[in-house]
């Protein structure tokens, strides 16, 4: 029989420790790069629309028109439209976040109908070329029956705010700023103090 183990650090493991609080599930973005596109099943019940800015190589939310937004529109440009859906591939159960451009939503206006429940519908998404810079198009396939066995619908706003680094809904992101965004905010502060 071997001798009992001694812990060199003086502390032993806590065998009856309480489990940590569960982590909030993080969803990956589904990016369409090829002209062949992808057929997806919509998990969210409606299209979540918002205006965004592209600053410091990342997308951040716009919080209002010039003067009310936390970024100066003169420096970062006018906000861009983005429509977001939670989707899954037909053969898998993993849920992704899909960003739709204004062109894709304009081509498929049924995505914006307020009384239409999108959950379970099939959506075809493709690009006009094999690059992320080409136009994104989308089409609902209403002839395909709704998918019944779907994962739970995620809180899309919460997922987007988490992806953007927002702490709570009313305030803009401030937690994960890069050097470019810090320079921009510093220039705004110095121009506002003059």
Who has greater pLDDT, 28 or 4?
28
**Nearest partner of 34 among 105, 134, 180, 146, judged by Cα:** 134
Query: Alpha carbon of 53 to those of 35, 59, 69, 79, 190: distances in Å?
Result: 26, 6, 10, 5, 21
54-63, 92-101, 125-134, 167-176: which range is least confident on average? Answer: 167-176
Residue 173 lies in a domain: no
Residue 186 lies in a domain: no
**Structural domain harbouring 48:** 28-163
20-29, 33-42, 54-63, 167-176: which range is least confident on average? Answer: 167-176
Residue 1 lies in a domain: no
What DSSP assignment string belongs to the chain?
-PPPP--TTS----TTPPPPPPPPP--EEP---STT-EEEEE-SSS-EEEEEEEETTEEEE--SSTTTSSS-HHHH-S-EEEEEEEEE-TT---EEEEEE-HHHHHH-GGGG-TT---TT-EEEEEESSSSTTSPEEEEEETTSPPP-S-PPPP-HHHHHHHHHT-SSSSSPP-SS--HHHHHHHHHHHHHHH-
Residue 171 lies in a domain: no
State both tokens at 149: 């066995």
Residue 187 lies in a domain: no
State both tokens at 28: 């990956």
Q: How many domains does the chain have?
A: 1
Residue 189 lies in a domain: no
Q: How large is the average pLDDT for residues 150-156?
A: 90
The set of residues, in sequence order, having a beta carbon less than 8 Å from that of 148 and lying 6+ positions away, is 120
Query: Alpha carbon of 49 to those of 12, 15, 46, 130, 153: distances in Å?
Result: 52, 48, 9, 26, 17
Measured torsion, CA atoms of residues 32, 55, 181, 63, in degrees rounded to the nearest 10: -110
**Nearest partner of 47 among 102, 120, 103, 114, judged by Cα:** 114
Residue 194 lies in a domain: no
Residue 125 lies in a domain: yes
Q: pLDDT value at position 13? A: 62
Name the pLDDT band for 117 (thresholds 50, 70, 90). very high
């Amino acid at each position: 029989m071997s001798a009992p183990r001694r812990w060199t650090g003086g502390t032993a493991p806590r065998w009856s420790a309480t489990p940590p609080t569960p982590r909030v599930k993080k969803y990956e973005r589904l990016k369409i790069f090829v002209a062949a596109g992808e057929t997806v099943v919509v998990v969210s019940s409606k299209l979540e629309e918002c205006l965004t800015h592209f600053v410091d190589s990342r997308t951040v939310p716009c919080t209002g028109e010039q003067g009310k937004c936390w970024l100066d529109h003169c420096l970062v440009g006018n906000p861009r439209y983005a429509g977001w859906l939670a989707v899954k591939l037909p053969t898998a159960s993993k849920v992704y976040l899909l960003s739709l451009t204004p062109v894709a939503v304009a081509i498929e206006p049924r995505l914006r109908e307020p009384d239409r429940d999108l959950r379970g519908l099939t959506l075809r998404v493709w690009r006009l070329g094999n690059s992320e810079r080409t136009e994104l198009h989308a089409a609902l396939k209403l002839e395909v029956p709704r998918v019944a066995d779907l994962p739970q619908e995620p809180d899309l706003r919460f997922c987007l705010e988490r992806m953007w680094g927002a702490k709570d809904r009313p305030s803009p992101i401030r937690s994960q700023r890069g050097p470019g965004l810090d320079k921009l905010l510093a220039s705004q502060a110095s121009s506002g103090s003059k």
